[in-house]
Amino acid sequence: MKSPWNKLLPATAGLVTLCLLNTSPAAGQSFVNLHNFTPFTTVDGASPNGGMAQGGNTLYGVTAAGGSAYNGTVFKINTDGSGYAVLYSFSTTVMDEDYTDYNAPMLYTNTDGYRPNGGLVLADGRLYGTTPYGGLDGYGTIFSLAACRT
């Protein structure tokens, strides 16, 4: 049986909620809160952004903050709101002391990027996404992650 929950509404700043709109004609428009993100947490991420990818009954997304180093996460949640889990936390950044453009913001580097945005793509069991910051040179990364991680 196909789930009637199929339209994602975007989330914004502050205390953020993932939500879905029931577009089934019989059910009308009932709002369901799937998960609350709390500010300044290092547990489940904060500030979700970008679109979400769907694989079966699982949704995948990113947060720009939170996680173990507060540099963002990749998460999954079931379409019924159960099974929320962080699949990946982006690593700690280090200020690039060799950066000499004093008219621009400082560059921060790490191995995997930070503050992912732009949503995810799910293909062949892997999630693909981008980070605008971090990476070896400080200008972002393109990453790939197995969707089946727990």
Position 15 pLDDT exceeds 90? no
Beta strands in the chain (DSSP E): 5-9, 16-22, 31-37, 46-55, 58-65, 73-78, 85-89, 94-95, 108-109, 117-123, 126-131, 141-146
CA distance 59 to 75: 8
More confident residue, 149 or 82: 82
What pLDDT is attached to residue 132?
93
CA distance 39 to 35: 13
Q: Give the pLDDT mean for 101-127.
A: 86
What percentage of the chain reaches a pLDDT higher than 70? Answer: 71
26-30, 62-66, 106-110: which range is least confident on average? 26-30
Q: Give the pLDDT mean for 47-65.
A: 94
Give 71's pLDDT tier (boundaries 50, 70, 90). Answer: very high
CA distance 147 to 90: 16
Phi-psi region of 42 (alpha: psi -120 to 50; beta: other; left: phi over 0): alpha
More confident residue, 85 or 97: 85
Q: Give the pLDDT mean for 65-78.
A: 93
The three-class DSSP label of residue 4 is coil
Whole-model pTM over 0.85: no
